[in-house]
């Protein structure tokens, strides 16, 4: 049986948090404790990250299956950040009866830029994948720095990110590479169209990984959505603007 590590805080209506690439549930801890003043908050380590076992094949569908098995609640609000948002879209498509509402936090149903979609340049992901093979740790640090690039308190946030990340050993290189492959290849716009629950889109207007136009693109696909732009936030608004994000979620769930 696949071991999926989780941390649970608080009581009340359940909210499940899914972290991003190369991270683990510890990244949520301060934020989760604030959110847990109103809800039961469950933070999951995705396979191969933190204290969770890895899986084969390493696909969005198989990740969605093992994470859903780790949540005993019959229905809940699902929040996915970055790669976690891609996983959340997949879980909502496969298990619609269990998802009451969905929050896409600094996420994108299609990370890579296309003629008809705003996204990240594929060369950036290819560069990360190549550098992982040469030197894993500096590549991860560079990725962390991108998440707070250009922010007023970027240095302080980067320090907090590093401290959280170093609680656990880094994921193995094959897992990191497979995660980048998912980001590069996944196109979940059909999953977005198929949603049958309310959707909240939370973005930072200074996010260097998710273009601000993505929220508008998502609303065009799925009308039953609410978009919140966090001024001055980058890719980690739950750290840089914690109180605002907590209040925003409390008004939605």
pLDDT(131) > 80: no
Residue with tokens 């989760």: 32
Virtual CA dihedral for 225, 226, 232, 233, nearest 10 degrees? -50
pLDDT, tens digit (0-9, with 9 covering 90-100), for 66-88: 999 999 999 999 999 999 999 99
pLDDT at 130: 79
Q: How far apart are CA 6 and CA 82, in angstroms?
A: 18
Contact 176, 128 (CB under 8 A): no
pLDDT, tens digit (0-9, with 9 covering 90-100), for 148-202: 777 778 788 888 788 877 888 888 989 999 999 999 999 999 999 999 999 999 9
pLDDT(227) > 80: yes
Q: Over pLDDT 90: what percentage of the chain?
A: 75
Q: Model pTM greater than 0.85?
A: yes
Which positions are catalytic?
A: 82, 207, 235
**pLDDT classification of 24: cutoffs 50, 70, 90:** very high
pLDDT(146) > 80: no
Q: From the options 3.40.50.300, 3.40.50.1820, 3.40.50.2300, 3.40.630.30, give the CATH code of 6-250.
A: 3.40.50.1820
**pLDDT classification of 244: cutoffs 50, 70, 90:** very high
Give the HSE-up count for residue 136: Cα atoms under 13 Å, Cβ half-sphere.
10
Give the HSE-up count for residue 149: Cα atoms under 13 Å, Cβ half-sphere.
11
Q: Which of 30, 70, 22, 81 is CA-nearest to residue 48? A: 22
DSSP string for residues in 22-84: T--GGGGHHHHHHHTTTSEEEEEPPTTSTTPPP-SS--HHHHHHHHHHT--SSSEEEEEETHH
Q: How far apart are CA 198 and CA 96, in angstroms?
A: 12
Phi, psi of 201 (to 5 degrees): -110, 120
Contact 52, 45 (CB under 8 A): yes
| CA end-to-end span of the chain | 32
pLDDT, tens digit (0-9, with 9 covering 90-100), for 27-60: 999 999 999 999 999 999 999 999 999 999 999 9
pLDDT(140) > 80: no
Residue spans per domain, the chain: 6-250
pLDDT(242) > 80: yes
pLDDT at 134: 64
């Amino acid at each position: 049986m696949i071991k999926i590590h989780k941390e649970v805080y608080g009581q009340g209506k359940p909210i499940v948090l899914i972290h991003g690439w190369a991270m683990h549930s510890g990244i949520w801890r301060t934020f989760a404790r604030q959110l847990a003043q109103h809800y039961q908050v469950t933070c999951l380590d995705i396979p191969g990250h933190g204290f969770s076992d890895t899986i084969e094949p390493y696909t969005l569908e198989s990740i969605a299956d093992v994470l859903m098995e780790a949540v005993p609640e019959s229905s809940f609000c699902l929040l996915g950040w970055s790669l976690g948002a891609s996983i959340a879209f997949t879980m909502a498509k496969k298990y619609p009866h269990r998802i009451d509402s969905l929050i896409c936090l600094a996420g994108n149903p299609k990370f890579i830029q296309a003629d008809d979609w705003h996204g990240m340049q594929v060369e950036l992901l290819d560069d990360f994948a190549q550098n992982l093979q040469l030197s894993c740790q500096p590549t991860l640090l560079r990725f962390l720095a991108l998440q707070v690039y250009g922010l007023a308190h970027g240095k302080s946030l980067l320090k907090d990110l590093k401290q959280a990340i170093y609680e656990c050993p880094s994921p193995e290189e094959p897992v990191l590479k497979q995660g980048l492959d998912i980001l590069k290849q996944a196109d979940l716009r059909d999953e977005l169209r198929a949603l049958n629950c309310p959707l909240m889109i939370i973005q930072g207007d200074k996010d260097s990984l998710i273009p601000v136009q993505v929220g508008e693109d998502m609303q065009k696909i799925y009308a039953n959505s609410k978009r919140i732009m966090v001024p001055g936030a980058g890719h980690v608004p739950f750290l840089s603007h914690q109180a605002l994000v907590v209040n925003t979620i409390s008004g939605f769930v």
